[in-house]
């Protein structure tokens, strides 16, 4: 069957044999967007986190049929080198990644958190950021999340000043 | 533990050739290295310091650098990047010696076809240390060659020339490196390149941002799992869920008719399926009915019984003075560590493309050379015909020292005539890991009337770490008599104690165990440093002073004492409990790098909470202090995860759990909110970094808990007794 949705601002229609196919595999193998990672396939690690209508979703356990007509954002659509998302800028400033494999999932989860809680406390972070990083970059990530909140607030201020 | 410098390697033979590249002339600097010392001495060094030497094949040309038409340098790294930051460190070293800026240098994984791959492995924490001398010499060599050539082209004497950012200038003229390489037929190769003075370095020693930072922040497809090849199909291999199961036969009838299935591949040692998508391959795999012969259905209890000091074969790895006698009045404590999983987030995977008599293998591997040989052997190909192209690793930790999946993918690719991608499910990752072996330790000690140790003994048993590994030459274990991986961290570091010894016991386990970041260090230091702490308490002495007074006076001992003092001072180490928090202290030496840690711990709802860890490390010369800090932070958190939460167990022959969550690991909420890292420099060359900080963490936490609760937790993962 054909499934249509928007991915990183572009409308996409894909043919899937089974509408229960996890969104992750459609994103990675059909649309060839490899930034969203496979770690466990059981919603247990968060490597596959992306945004569906702004909400963080573990795409390995999210049937593609639920995405019909929705707006999907992956790490490739979060920001660009010229216009990084505050989360990406903060990640660069704090030099967070080690192996890097878990990082897109964490950045997407953080972007979703900041949409809901623009200025998260440590407890907010502990409760909401529950992905796994084997390299143990949590210490820098926490700093980066606070920094991203600050950058995001600043950029919003700039935008509202301009308007 | 004697130390030797890194100057034992030098450029011994080198050849350079110039090759026409695409539209430009590239310089391929080809150098080969051998050890100045004979192999025996080198092996001895490896055993003494437990360092992995940088090793290469000396009979093939190797590509290290390419000068591109954009005047940038491509550095082909013989080591892989798995997060440890090696690419950044070697880029800094090369940029400085080549007089180019950091953004003019690009590091790529050397493919095995370039010849420049480490023939042993990436691991053992010594990538930077082992490349420090040879890489800088090679870069200096290339710089001098370019200078000579530029001098000739511009007709200006070499001593009139200066270099800045890859541009050679003098006598009012200038040439970029790229221009210099144009049209060169033969290069003049200097005999012995002159290294710059350390003070001239702009990048070495600075906290330069990781060279792979942007790729990792923007989600570039750099990992093995991301590899895509034209016409690629997906493979899956049937694996048993029980330990020691051997393959008898398989009924593939149902699977053959499943949607998307291209071919079922039945080999003597495995059954695989190739399909059009990963999901189709997995579904078909589930439909294959395999008959396994199960040899035994053991449980964790049986393993614990086996892993008990006194079982198996013993080797004294260190001794001084007399051994304790049974009738002596000594303190004896036992410690245990469980089976640990690597649990790296990127599953093991590979894309193999076999065409005719050659193969391309794209893979996250720590053992490029071994992967290559194994594939070649299985396919009956010439080794030269197998090109292993390493990708970035989504975590290594020792897991990727074993790559039989590359062989299976190659067999499947050959069978279908298309590239085949194949990776482990998470369940397979957990059940077919090459685990960190469980260990058991008996530590004994006796105090003098003044409260100093007169005797100290560490008896420990472990499964294989280095033995039976393709990495360790088969002749080595019998010579040494001990598993060089399992004994890491197992030595007595309090050599002022008159009588001490360390005895390693080896037991064969019914499942595969291997290298897990820091090898024996995590468990050995946990046991030793917990015991020392208990003895300090018994002696009524300060935990820091008790250690300092009993460490010897060799160079490495002095470095150890310095990190201990620095950690204690920085953390304001105190034996008091303040606001419900206690401090725990521990120290270790691993691969020539001393590390001390102070953990600040409290108990909340009967759970151990680690608030802050102070790390003091002496890695020698810090090529990139920020990345060394990152490694310390990572080791603290990975170590905390292992010592507080992680544990595999065996139920009726099945290794469990098979998923994150049940295999509990540290999350954001469990990571200390403060990690304070102090770096000391006790020698003028770089030393090991990526594993040594894993040593002290277990005991540091346990020692803090001891002060809070009076309870000596002697088993990993550390669990407080249930409150009623
Ligand atoms: S891959 Fe989706 S949560 Fe692990
Ligand atoms: S950076 Fe390696 S798993 Fe997070």
Domain range annotation of chain A? 2-78, 86-162
Domain assignment present for residue B110? The answer is yes
Does position B110 have pLDDT exceeding 90, yes or no? no
Shortest distance between the Cα of B424 and any Cα of chain A, in A, equals 10
Instruction: Answer whether B380 touches A (CB < 8 Å).
Output: no
- B279 & B160 share domain: no
Q: Which of A4-8, A98-102, B16-20, B488-492 has the lowest mean pLDDT?
A: B16-20
Rounded distance between C-alpha atoms, residue B617 and residue A25, angstroms: 43
> Cα of A46 to ligand 1 centre, how many Å?
5
Distance, CA A22 to ligand 1 centroid (Å)?
11
Last residue of a domain, one of B217, B234, B257: B217
CB under 6 Å to ligand 1: residues?
A: A 38-41, 43-48, 58, 60
Query: What's residue B479's pLDDT?
Result: 60
Find chain A residues with C-beta within 8 A of B612's C-beta: none
Give me the pLDDT at residue B369, please.
87
| CB proximity A142 to B under 8 Å | yes
Token pair 């076809």: residue: B113
B485 pLDDT band (50/70/90 cuts)? confident
Q: Is the pLDDT of residue B114 over 80?
A: no
Question: Would an 8 Å CB–CB cutoff place A88 in contact with chain B?
Answer: yes
Q: Is the pLDDT score of B1 beyond 80?
A: no
Average pLDDT, integer, range B704-711: 97
Is residue A31 within 8 A of residue A11, CB to CB? The reply is no
- B44 inside domain: no
Is the model's pLDDT at B427 over the cut of 90?
Answer: yes
pLDDT of B471 reads: 61
Three-class SS of B516-541: CCCCCHHHHHHHHHHHHHHHHHHHCC
Q: Is B317 on the interface with A (CB under 8 A)?
A: no
Residues 103-122 of B with CB under 8 A from A: none
At residue B466 the predicted structure's pLDDT band, cuts being 50, 70 and 90, is confident
Nearest-by-Cβ selection for B345 from A25, A92, A101: A101
Q: Which two tokens stand for residue A64?
A: 């593609």
* pLDDT beyond 90 at B583: yes
Read off the pLDDT of each residue in B370-390 and give the average, rounded to a whole number.
95
- Tell whether A29 is within 8 A of chain B (Cβ): yes
Q: How many residues does chain B have?
A: 724
Among the ranges given (A61-65, A127-131, B26-30, B477-481), the one the predictor scored with the smallest mean pLDDT: B26-30
The Cα-based distances of B600 to B450, B700, B716 in angstroms read: 29, 9, 18
Q: Do residues B511 and B652 share a domain?
A: yes
Q: Quick check: B4 pLDDT over 60?
A: no
pLDDT at B30: 34
- Please answer yes or no on whether A34 and B665 come within 8 Å at the CB atom: no
Q: What is the fold of A2-78?
A: Ubiquitin-like (UB roll) (3.10.20)
CB contact under 8 A, B213 and A95: yes
| Residue B538 domain flag | yes
Q: How far is the CA of B345 from the centre of ligand 2 (A)?
A: 7
* Of the candidate ranges B20-34, B438-452, B579-593, the one whose mean pLDDT is the lowest: B20-34
- Window from B401-405, B420-424, B565-569 with minimum mean pLDDT: B401-405
Asked whether residue B500 falls in the same domain as residue B599, the answer is: yes
Residue B622 sits in the same domain as residue B515? yes
Query: CB within 8 A of B618, min separation 6: which ones?
Result: B559, B562, B563, B593, B594, B595, B679, B680, B681, B682, B683, B687
Q: Which of A85-89, B36-40, B113-117 has the weakest average pLDDT?
A: B36-40
Strands B453-462 and B499-506 turn out to be parallel
Q: What percent of chain B has pLDDT above 70?
A: 88
For residue B606, the model assigns a pLDDT of 95
Check A126 against B641: CB less than 8 A apart.
no
- Give the residues surrounding ligand 2 with Cβ less than 6 Å away: A 97-103, 133-135, 137; B 83, 345, 395
Look up residue B305 and give its DSSP letter.
H
Beta-carbon contacts of residue B246 (< 8 Å; ≥ 6 apart): B292, B293, B295
Residue B12 within a domain? no
Domain A86-162 sits in CATH at 1.10.150.120
From B199, B217, B235, give the residue that closes a domain: B217
Binned at pLDDT 50, 70 and 90, residue B221 comes out as very high
DSSP B667: -
Record the tokens describing residue A12, joined without a space: 């996409």
> Looking at beta carbons, which residues of chain A come within 8 Å of B665?
132, 134
Would you state the pLDDT for residue B309? 96
What's the domain count of chain B? 3
Q: Which domain holds residue B184?
A: 61-217
The residue among B511 and B191 whose pLDDT is bigger is B511
Task: Kindly state whether residue B649 falls inside one of the protein's structural domains.
Answer: yes
Residues B163 and B287 in one domain: no
Tell me the CA–centroid distance for residue B513 and ligand 1, in Å: 26
CA B78, CA B121: separation in Å to the nearest integer?
9
- pLDDT of residue B45 exceeding 70, the answer is no
Q: Where are the alpha helices (DSSP H) in chain A?
A: 23-25, 75-78, 86-93, 103-116, 122-128, 138-162
Cis-peptide into B717, omega within 30 deg: yes
Range of lowest pLDDT (A84-88, A103-107, B166-170, B504-508): B504-508
Q: Is A77 on the interface with B (CB under 8 A)?
A: no
Report d(CA B546, CA B538) in Å as an integer: 11
- The residues in A 48-67 lying below 8 A from B, measured between CB atoms, are none
Q: Is residue B655 predicted with pLDDT exceeding 80?
A: yes
Whether B626 is in a domain gets the answer yes
In the numeric block, which tokens belong to residue B685? Answer: 């060359």
CA distance B671 to chain A (A): 6
With contacts defined as CB-CB under 8 Å, which chain B residues touch A137?
A: 630, 633-634, 637
Residue B486 included in any domain: yes
Q: Where are the beta strands (DSSP E) in B549-683?
A: 582-590, 593-604, 607-617, 649-651, 654-656, 674-679
Whether B480 and B545 map to the same domain: the answer is yes
Question: For a pocket test of ligand 1, which of A34, A58, A101, A130 has the largest count of ligand atoms closer than 8 A to its C-beta?
Answer: A58
Residues B213 and B228 in one domain: no
- Confidence at residue A44, expressed as pLDDT on a 0 to 100 scale: 98
Nearest atom in ligand 2 to B395's CA = 2
Ligand 1 centroid, distance to B72 Cα (angstroms): 38
- Worst-scoring range by mean pLDDT, A73-77, B16-20, B50-54, B159-163? B16-20
Tens of pLDDT along chain A (163 residues) come to 899 999 999 999 999 989 999 999 999 999 999 999 999 999 999 999 999 999 999 999 999 999 999 999 999 999 999 999 999 999 999 999 999 999 999 999 999 999 999 999 999 999 999 999 999 999 999 999 999 999 999 988 776 665 4
> How far away, in angstroms, is A103 Cα from ligand 2 center?
6
Do B630 and A137 count as a contact with CB atoms less than 8 A apart?
Answer: yes
Cα(B660) to centroid(ligand 2), Å: 15
As a whole number, the mean pLDDT across chain B is 88
- Are B312 and B442 found together in one domain? yes
CATH assignment at residue B201: 3.30.365.10
Contact A91/B at CB under 8 A: yes
Nearest C-alpha neighbor of B97 from the set B130, B146, B62: B146
B426–A42 C-beta distance less than 8 A: yes
Report yes or no on B503 lying in a domain: yes
B278 touches chain A (CB under 8 A): yes
- Same domain? B352 vs B334: no
Whether residue B499 lies within 8 A of chain A, CB to CB, comes out as: no
Contacts of A127 in chain B (CB under 8 A): 669
Instruction: Determine the pLDDT at residue B31.
Output: 31
B58 pLDDT higher than 60: no
Secondary-structure percent of chain B, ordered helix, strand, coil, rounded to 5: 30, 30, 40
- The predicted pLDDT at position B135 comes to 87
How do residues B609-648 score in pLDDT, each as one tens digit? 999 999 999 999 999 999 999 999 999 999 999 999 999 9
How many Cα atoms occupy the beta-carbon half-sphere of B351 within 13 Å? 18
pLDDT of residue B468: 67
Determine the distance in angstroms separating the CA of B500 from the nearest CA of chain A, rounded to an integer.
36
> Which structure tokens are listed for B474?
């088969």
> Where a domain ends, among B217, B234, B269?
B217
Q: CA B256 → CA A118, B40, B248, B279, distances in Å?
A: 53, 54, 19, 15
Choice between B302 and B118, residue whose per-residue pLDDT is larger: B302
Q: Quick one: angle between helices B86-98 and B127-154, nearest 10?
A: 30
Q: Do B83 and A97 touch (CB under 8 A)?
A: yes
* Residue B574 CB burial class (10 angstroms; 0-12, 13-18, ≥19): middle
Mark out the alpha helices in B380-475 (DSSP H runs).
404-416, 426-431
Average pLDDT over residues B661-670: 98
Token code pair at residue A8: 């990183």
Q: Is B302 within 8 Å of chain A by CB?
A: no
Pocket test for ligand 1, best of A25, A28, A39 (most atoms within 8 A of CB): A39
């Amino acid at each position: 069957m054909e499934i249509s949705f928007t991915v990183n601002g572009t409308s996409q229609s894909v043919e899937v044999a089974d509408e229960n196919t996890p969104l992750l595999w459609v994103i990675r193998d059909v649309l060839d967007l490899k930034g969203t990672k496979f770690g466990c396939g059981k919603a247990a690690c968060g490597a596959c986190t992306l945004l569906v209508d702004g909400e963080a979703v573990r795409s390995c356990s999210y049937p593609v049929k639920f995405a019909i007509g929705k707006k999907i954002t992956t790490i490739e659509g979060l920001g660009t080198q010229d216009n990084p998302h505050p989360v990406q800028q903060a990640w660069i400033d704090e030099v967070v990644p080690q192996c890097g494999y878990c990082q897109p999932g964490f950045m997407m989860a953080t972007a979703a958190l900041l949409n809901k809680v623009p200025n998260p406390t440590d407890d907010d972070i502990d409760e909401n950021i529950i992905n796994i990083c084997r390299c143990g970059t949590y210490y820098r990530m926490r700093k980066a999340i606070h920094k991203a909140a600050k950058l995001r607030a600043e950029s919003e201020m700039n935008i509202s000043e301009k308007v | 533990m004697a130390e030797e410098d890194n100057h034992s390697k030098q450029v011994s033979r080198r050849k350079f050739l110039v090759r026409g590249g695409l539209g430009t002339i590239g310089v391929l600097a080809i150098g080969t290295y051998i050890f100045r010392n004979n192999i025996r001495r080198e092996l001895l060094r490896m055993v003494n310091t437990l360092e992995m030497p940088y090793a290469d094949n000396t009979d093939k040309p190797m590509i290290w650098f390419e000068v591109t038409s954009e005047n940038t340098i491509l550095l082909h790294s013989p080591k892989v990047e798995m997060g440890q930051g090696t690419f950044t460190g070697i880029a800094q070293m090369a940029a400085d010696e080549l007089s180019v800026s950091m953004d003019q240098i690009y590091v790529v994984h050397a493919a095995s076809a370039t010849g420049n791959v480490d023939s042993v492995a990436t691991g053992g924490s010594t990538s930077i240390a082992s490349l420090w001398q040879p890489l800088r010499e090679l870069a200096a060599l290339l710089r001098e060659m370019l200078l000579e050539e530029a001098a000739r082209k511009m007709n200006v004497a070499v001593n009139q020339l200066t270099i800045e950012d890859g541009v050679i200038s003098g006598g009012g003229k200038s040439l970029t490196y790229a221009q210099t390489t144009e049209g060169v037929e033969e290069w003049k190769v200097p005999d012995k390149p002159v290294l710059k003075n350390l003070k001239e370095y702009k990048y070495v020693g600075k906290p330069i941002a990781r060279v792979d930072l942007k790729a990792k922040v923007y989600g570039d497809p750099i990992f093995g799992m991301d590899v895509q090849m034209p016409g690629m199909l997906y493979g899956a291999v049937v694996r048993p869920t029980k330990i020691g199961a051997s393959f008898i036969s398989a009924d593939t009838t149902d699977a053959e008719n499943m949607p998307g299935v291209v071919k079922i591949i039945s080999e003597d040692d495995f059954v695989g399926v190739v399909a059009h998508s990963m999901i189709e391959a997995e579904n078909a795999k589930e439909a294959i009915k395999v008959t396994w012969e199960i040899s035994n259905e053991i449980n964790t209890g049986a393993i614990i019984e086996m892993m008990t000091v006194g079982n198996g074969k013993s080797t004294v790895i260190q001794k001084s003075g007399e051994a304790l006698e049974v009738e002596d009045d000594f303190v004896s404590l036992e410690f245990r560590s469980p089976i640990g999983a690597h649990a790296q987030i990127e599953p093991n995977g590979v894309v193999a493309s076999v065409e005719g008599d050659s193969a391309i293998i794209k893979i996250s591997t720590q053992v490029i050379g071994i992967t290559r040989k194994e594939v070649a052997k299985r396919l009956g190909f010439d080794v030269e015909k197998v090109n292993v192209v390493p990708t970035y690793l989504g975590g290594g930790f020792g897991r990727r020292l074993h790559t039989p999946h590359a062989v299976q993918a190659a067999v499947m690719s050959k069978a279908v005539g298309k590239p085949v991608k194949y990776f482990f499910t998470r369940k397979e990752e957990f059940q077919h890991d090459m685990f960190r072996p469980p260990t058991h330790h008996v530590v004994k000690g006796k105090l003098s009337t003044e409260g100093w140790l007169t005797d100290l003994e560490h008896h420990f048993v472990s499964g294989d770490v280095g033995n039976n590994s393709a990495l360790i030459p088969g002749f080595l274990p019998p010579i040494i008599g001990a598993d060089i991986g399992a004994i890491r961290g197992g030595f007595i570091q309090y050599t002022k104690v008159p009588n001490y010894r360390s005895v390693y016991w080896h037991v064969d386990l019914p499942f595969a165990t291997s290298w897990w970041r820091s090898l024996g260090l995590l468990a050995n230091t946990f046991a030793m440093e917990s015991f020392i702490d208990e003895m300090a308490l018994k002696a009524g002495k300060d935990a820091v002073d008790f250690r300092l007074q009993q460490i010897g006076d060799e160079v490495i001992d002095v470095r150890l004492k310095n990190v201990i003092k620095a950690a204690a001072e920085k953390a304001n180490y105190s034996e008091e409990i303040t606001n419900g928090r206690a401090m725990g202290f521990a120290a270790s030496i691993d691969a020539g790098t001393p590390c001390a840690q102070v953990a600040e711990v409290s108990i909340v709802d009967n759970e151990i909470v680690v608030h802050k860890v102070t790390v003091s490390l002496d890695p020698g010369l810090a090529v990139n202090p920020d990345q060394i800090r990152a490694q310390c932070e990572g080791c603290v958190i990975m170590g905390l995860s292992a010592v507080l939460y992680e544990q595999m167990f065996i139920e009726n022959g099945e290794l469990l759990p098979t998923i994150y969550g049940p295999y509990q690991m540290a999350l954001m909420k469990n990571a200390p909110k403060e990690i304070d890292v102090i770096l000391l420099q006790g020698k003028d060359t770089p030393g090991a970094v990526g594993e040594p900080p894993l040593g002290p963490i277990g005991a540091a936490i346990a020692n803090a808990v001891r002060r809070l609760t009076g309870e000596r937790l002697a088993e990993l993962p550390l669990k407080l007794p249930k409150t009623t």
